[in-house]
Amino acid sequence: MNQIEKLVVVVIDAFGVSTWEKAKENTPVFNKLRGVHGTVIRSVMPSITPVNFATMLTGASPETHGIRNREQPLRHENIFHVMRETGMVSATAARAVSSLGILISPYADKPGLAGSNLDSEVTEIACRMIDEEVNLLWVQLLDVDDAGHSYGPYSLESREAAAKADTNLMRILEAARVHGYSAIVLADHGQHPSSGGPYKGVHGTTVPEDLNVPFLWASNTELREALDE
C-alpha cells in the first residue's frame, strides 16, 4: 500500500493457515480479502500471542524486547509512541483480559477494553473507534483461539468460531470502508491438535500449523471494491 492516514489492523488470534483451510466455507469475508492481497508469513518464536504482539508493535525481535507473557512491561519504543510524536492518534479494541488489552492497550491513546471479554463487544468498540477516525486501530478477536484450545483447531466448534470471527470482521471492515480506512488482517500464530493434556489445541512450537499464518491487506479503494462484490 502507498502511504495512508488511517489503518485498521485485525488480528484473528490462532487463525493459522491450516485452521483457515479447514474453515474456508465459513469465512466468505476473509476469503474475499485473501483475493485482494494475501501471503503466508511465519510467526516469531515462541509462537504465542504476547511475544508476537510485542514484535508487531516494536519491530524488535523477541530476543531484543524480552516479552514472554502479557504481564511484562513493554519497555521498547513502539508504533504508538512514534505516531504520537507526529500528531497521529492510536487506539485498540480488545478484551480486557487479553494480550492486547493488558500488554499493548496501555500505550495507545485510546485503549478500548471490553469488560465482558466477548468478541461481540470488542467489535462494537472497534466500530466506535473507527467512527471517531483514529489513525491506527489495533483489534484482537479471540473466538477462534478459545474454540481451538477447548475443542481442537479442526473441530466443528472451531469452524463455527471462524464463522463468528468472519461476521465480526465484516462489521469492522464495513465501518472501515465507510470512513476511508485501509486494512490489514492477520493471525499471530496457529494451532495444532494436542496429543494429550487439558487442551485439545495447543501452540508455541515450531510445527507448521503453529508457524504459518495468513497476512492479508487492502487499500480503502480495494476494500470497497471487494466488499461490493
**84 neighbors 64 (Cβ within 8 angstroms):** no
- Predicted local confidence at residue 229, as pLDDT: 74
For 178, the enclosing helix (H) or strand (E) is helix 156-178
Amino acid in the structure at residue 67: I
**Distance separating alpha carbons of residues 14 and 48, to the nearest angstrom:** 9
Whether 2 is in a domain gets the answer: no
- Predicted local confidence at residue 3, as pLDDT: 78
Domain range for 100 is 7-228
Average pLDDT of the chain? 96
Residue 160 neighbours by CB distance under 10 Å: 16
- Predicted local confidence at residue 2, as pLDDT: 63
* pLDDT tens per residue across span 169-227: 999 999 999 999 999 999 999 999 998 776 799 999 999 999 999 999 999 999 999 99
Whether 53 is in a domain gets the answer: yes
Total number of domains in the chain? 1
- Predicted local confidence at residue 167, as pLDDT: 98
| pLDDT less than 70: residues of the chain | 1-2, 198
- Predicted local confidence at residue 195, as pLDDT: 83
Burial of 224 (0-12, 13-18, 19+ CB in 10 A): middle
**126 neighbors 175 (Cβ within 8 angstroms):** yes
Whether 184 is in a domain gets the answer: yes
Whether 77 is in a domain gets the answer: yes
Q: Kindly report the CATH number assigned to the domain that includes residue 38.
A: 3.40.720.10
**Distance separating alpha carbons of residues 43 and 196, to the nearest angstrom:** 23
